[in-house]
Amino acid sequence: MPRFALKIEYDGAPFAGWQAQADQPTVQGAIESALAKLDPGFAAGARIAAAGRTDAGVHATGQVAHADLLRDWDPFRLSEALNWHLKPAPVVVLAAARVDDDFHARFSARERRYTFRLISRRAPMTHELGNVWQVLSPLDLGAMQQGAQHLIGLHDFTTFRSSICQAKSPVKSIDQITIQEIPVPHGTEYRFHLRARSFLHNQVRSIVGTLERVGAGSWHPDRVAEALAACNRAACGPVCPPQGLYLSGVGYPRDPFEDPAARGDGPTGG
């Protein structure tokens, strides 16, 4: 039974998150419905597995899932067929690749990368509505960068995880937090990039919401360290809304999409 890795992009706005639910539209459900049109195993109820389960309203530009199919497809043709059957849902397969049977989208992953987009401007959003978190006043980039440094490394992140988080331990290691400041028409965009092997439920949104308070001047950067040390959810800043959050990439010991032979060549120009 051939196994395929899928690199997936989606707009999370119309979905109740990634994970399939019987009575709600989900990203997983949309992809499995498309696969059911192509493969008898999925028509009979087979499931896909993903690197991470995003919440309602959260987007992805680099989600990874794997599927075991009864038919051995050319990877490029598989991605094209899936994209045809995914219409008009805002979900696309960016690439498909044939992988070994021991590849697992979740358990083989060595890192997850998230990006959070925040825009400060007075005028309401139009084109980016639903894709960013908007605040009205500019933020202090340097203060946010200073506050973020307290969160790098191995820590007990009880303060920065949801009360319904199902992880066995609140101890996680954040490898990197970088913040970009990008001019946009009549405002500024701040992009928060976070990288870690794995994240707790609501951890990224809790961190960005806290750093926004630092950037707004409501918190001193050192208060982030105090909140972390408190190991108390009540010490966290506000949890920011989901629409600015993107699962931007998943890292593996070997990138399954790098090998042209594994992913299919597709059409070429002459």
Instruction: Tell me the average pLDDT across 31-48.
Output: 96
Residue 266 reports pLDDT greater than 90: no
- Residue intervals of the chain classified under CATH 3.30.70.580 are 3-108
Instruction: Tell me the average pLDDT across 49-59.
Output: 96
Question: How long a stretch of residues is the chain?
Answer: 270
Instruction: Tell me the average pLDDT across 164-184.
Output: 96
Closest residue by Cα to residue 173 from 149, 156, 191, 158? 156
| Cis amide prior to 88 (ω within 30 degrees) | yes
Query: What was the pLDDT predicted at 50?
Result: 98
Segment 189-219, tens digit of pLDDT:
999 999 999 999 999 999 999 999 999 999 9
Averaged confidence pLDDT in the chain: 95
Q: What angle do CA 177, 164, 169 make, to 5 degrees?
A: 60
Instruction: Tell me the average pLDDT across 16-24.
Output: 94
Q: b vs e for 225-256, b when ≥16 Cβ sit within 10 Å of the residue's Cβ?
A: eebbeeeebebbbebbebbbbbbbbbbbeeeb
Q: Domain 3-108 is of which CATH architecture?
A: 2-Layer Sandwich (3.30)
Catalytic annotation, pick one of 11, 23, 39, 55: 55
Of the chain, the percentage scoring pLDDT greater than 90 comes to 94
Closest residue by Cα to residue 199 from 235, 234, 141, 245? 245
Of the chain, the percentage scoring pLDDT greater than 70 comes to 96
Q: b vs e for 9-19, b when ≥16 Cβ sit within 10 Å of the residue's Cβ?
A: bbbbebbbbbe
147 sits in which H/E element? helix 141-149
Residue 130 reports pLDDT greater than 60: yes
Q: Which fold has domain 111-249?
A: Alpha-Beta Plaits (3.30.70)
The reply to whether 255 belongs to the active site is: no
Residues ≥6 apart with Cβ < 8 Å to 126: none
Q: Rounded to an integer, what distance in angstroms lies between the CA atom of residue 103 and that of residue 101? A: 6
Segment 243-265, tens digit of pLDDT:
999 999 999 999 999 877 667 76
- Residue intervals of the chain classified under CATH 3.30.70.660 are 111-249
- Reported as a pLDDT band with limits 50, 70 and 90, residue 131 is very high
Instruction: Tell me the average pLDDT across 4-33.
Output: 96
- The pTM of this model reads 0.94
Query: What was the pLDDT predicted at 263?
Result: 72
DSSP annotation of 21 reads: B
Closest residue by Cα to residue 229 from 155, 145, 173? 155
Q: Rounded to an integer, what distance in angstroms lies between the CA atom of residue 17 and that of residue 27? A: 7
Residue 268 reports pLDDT greater than 70: no
- Reported as a pLDDT band with limits 50, 70 and 90, residue 267 is low
Output 230-234 pairs: Cβ under 8 A, ≥24 positions apart: 230/159, 231/156, 231/158, 231/159, 231/170, 232/158, 232/159, 233/158, 233/159, 233/161, 233/163
Query: What was the pLDDT predicted at 270?
Result: 46
Q: Is 158 helix (H, G, I), strand (E, B) or coil?
A: helix
Instruction: Tell me the average pLDDT across 141-165.
Output: 97
Instruction: Return phi, psi of residue 148, to 5°.
Output: -65, -30
